[in-house]
Amino acid sequence: MKNRLKVLRAERDWSQGDLADRLEVSRQSVNAIETGRYDPSLPLAFKIAELFDLSIEDIFTSPSKES
Amino acid sequence: MHKSPALRRYNYTVLGLSLAYMGALFGIVALFRTRPPHGTLAYAAAILPALPLVGIFLAWGRYLTDEPDEYIRMLTIRQTLIATGFMLSATTIWGFLESFGLAVHIPAYAAGILWFAGLMLGGCVNIFAVRTGRS
């Protein structure tokens, strides 16, 4: 699933490890989500959205809307 | 490399159980060679080396339950499925070869060894999938 995680992380000057620590997941998880190789569960997606103070739709692109 | 407290606990448990397995195996083999037990005691003694291995299977199940990172859990479940599929396929094929007299008899506990080999295979598949961007 496409997402803006890398951009949002870069805006805050966070490394993947920094974001992983804040989300309490592994750096591998952040990398897999960022590159679209893994779609997070709803609870983790909410956690990501709350961390950036955005809605899930502001971060993740619905697969049905991907061109 | 991700090392959650759950993975660390699993590693320590496996280390302890592996030592217990080695001790039980050598002890029981020596016992059957020198003073073979009889009756119920023989059954209990023969099963003894299997118990630490059963413990390792249980520890793996507990790790799968306790691992808090959902992505790592997904990779581990895939690794487990590959191991189980590998073990079932290999034992089924070997069983037919054995039935038609084309292969020697192998003890049933080889299934466990094949499952552990399958875990290594699953780990390799995970590494390949991650490195090639296939999750």
The ipTM is 0.90
Q: Is the pLDDT of residue B88 over 70?
A: yes
State the pLDDT confidence band at B45, using cuts at 50, 70 and 90. very high
Dihedral sign, Cα of residue B28, residue B20, residue B112, residue B59? positive
pTM over 0.90: no
Task: Give the separation between CA B42 and CA B76, rounded to whole angstroms.
Answer: 37
Contact A28 B133 (CB under 8 A): no
A60: closest CA of chain B, how far (Å): 17
Average pLDDT of the residues in B12-17: 97
B85: closest CA of chain A, how far (Å): 23
Nearest by CB to A28, from B71, B133, B134: name it. Answer: B71
Which of A31, A37, A48 is the mutation pick for testing B, counting most B CBs within 10 A? A37
Q: pLDDT per residue over A49-67, tens digit each? A: 999 999 999 999 988 887 6
Q: pLDDT per residue over B56-67, tens digit each? A: 999 999 999 999
Tell me what pLDDT residue A67 has.
Answer: 64
Collapse the DSSP code of A3 into the 3-class scheme (helix H, G, I; strand E, B; otherwise coil) and give the result: strand
Whether chain A has a CB inside 8 Å of the CB on B78: the answer is: no
* Phi, psi torsion values for B77, nearest 5 degrees: -65, -40
Whether chain A has a CB inside 8 Å of the CB on B2: the answer is: yes
Whether chain A has a CB inside 8 Å of the CB on B107: the answer is: no
Tell me what pLDDT residue A62 has.
Answer: 87
Structure tokens at A54: 């955005």
* Phi, psi torsion values for A60, nearest 5 degrees: -105, 140
Give every residue of chain A whose pLDDT is below 50, as ranges.
Answer: none
Closest CA to A9 of A55, A59, A65: A59
Give the nearest chain B residue to A23 (CA atoms): B69
